[in-house]
Amino acid sequence: MTKQVTTTAVDLGPKLIVALDYPDANSALTMAKQLSPEFCRVKVGKELFTASGPHIVEQLQILGFDVFLDLKYHDIPNTCAGAVRAAANLGVWMVNVHAQGGRRMMEAAKNAIVSSNTNTLLIAVTVLTSMQQEDLSGLGIAINLDQYVATLAQLANECGLDGVVCSAFEASSMVNRFGSNFLRVTPGVRPSNSVKGDQRRVMTPAEAVNAGSSHIVVGRPITQADDPGEASAAVVAELSC
């Protein structure tokens, strides 16, 4: 029998996370200043963090934003734990690892969070929303995509993580299996009037929340809009319906 952990990662803040996928700090901060920390959090990914380092996290926090540091750590347990500890010491709201790193890596990462004595949340990536069944097959993974996501999510739960990054299509099953306090952070969300881009498994914001997403990540439909503030407000309004 597999162990299930009861998580207490209740989060009552904004459900919208805006992806600041920019190559430099000035561009990211210019965008952030058009948004409101009252209505959204922001995500700092690999490109922006590599270009700007911890400074960009600090500057976004000064503006009042909770920061999701989306670096998807995947390494040997000791190295991953050190990276997660450093992220927690930056005071980020949330950080993530790849569930495919396995049990020992995720347990080490969780222990690093606990020892940091911070409120940083730790979640795990299951399967990227840009991937479909044929992509798994190309990696030699024969298991059905939905089953693979469920297996990785179960492992993350057993390791005491606060939730997962998953497609909105998998969110309802996460609630059914692990309860509503196990966070379901879903990229691949597109307002109905926007293009899918390179995301394949997508839903609108309202559809995603109705399907069980606890938080949604939206990037280009907001950051490339003529009025990003208005675009983000429209998404928030849709989430409230």
Domain CATH code at residue 184: 3.20.20.70
How far is the C-alpha of 82 from the C-alpha of 88, rounded, in Å? 10
Binding site listing for substrate: 21, 43, 70-79, 129, 190, 199, 219-220
Q: Any catalytic annotation for residue 135?
A: no
pLDDT at 127: 86
The dihedrals phi and psi of 135, each to the nearest 5 degrees, come to: -70, -40
**Mean pLDDT throughout 127-138?**
87
- Whether 8 is covered by a domain: the verdict is no
- Whether 7 is covered by a domain: the verdict is no
Bridge partners for 43 per DSSP: 19, 68
Distance of CA 103 to the CA centre of its chain: 19
Question: What confidence category does residue 4 fall into, taking pLDDT thresholds of 50, 70 and 90?
Answer: low
* H-helix segments, 7-102: 25-32, 46-52, 54-62, 77-89
Binding site listing: 21, 43, 70-79, 129, 190, 199, 219-220
pTM of the model: 0.90
pLDDT at 83: 98
**pLDDT of residue 235 exceeding 90:** yes
- Whether 198 is covered by a domain: the verdict is yes
- Whether 3 is covered by a domain: the verdict is no
SS3 164: strand
**pLDDT of residue 229 exceeding 90:** yes
pLDDT at 199: 47
**Mean pLDDT throughout 174-195?**
86
Q: Any catalytic annotation for residue 33?
A: no
- Whether 173 is covered by a domain: the verdict is yes
**pLDDT of residue 144 exceeding 80:** yes
- Whether 10 is covered by a domain: the verdict is no
Q: Any catalytic annotation for residue 11?
A: no
- Whether 60 is covered by a domain: the verdict is yes
- Whether 37 is covered by a domain: the verdict is yes
Question: What confidence category does residue 192 fall into, taking pLDDT thresholds of 50, 70 and 90?
Answer: low
Range of the domain at 225: 16-239
* Domain tally, the chain: 1
How far is the C-alpha of 67 from the C-alpha of 179, rounded, in Å? 24
Q: E-strand spans in 74-226? A: 94-98, 121-125, 163-165, 183-186, 215-218
How far is the C-alpha of 90 from the C-alpha of 69, rounded, in Å? 10
Question: What confidence category does residue 121 fall into, taking pLDDT thresholds of 50, 70 and 90?
Answer: very high
Catalytic residue selected from 3, 11, 24, 70: 70
Catalytic residue selected from 15, 66, 72, 162: 72
How far is the C-alpha of 17 from the C-alpha of 23, rounded, in Å? 18
> Which string of b and e fits 63-75 if b means at least 16 CB within 10 Å?
eebbbbbbbbbbb
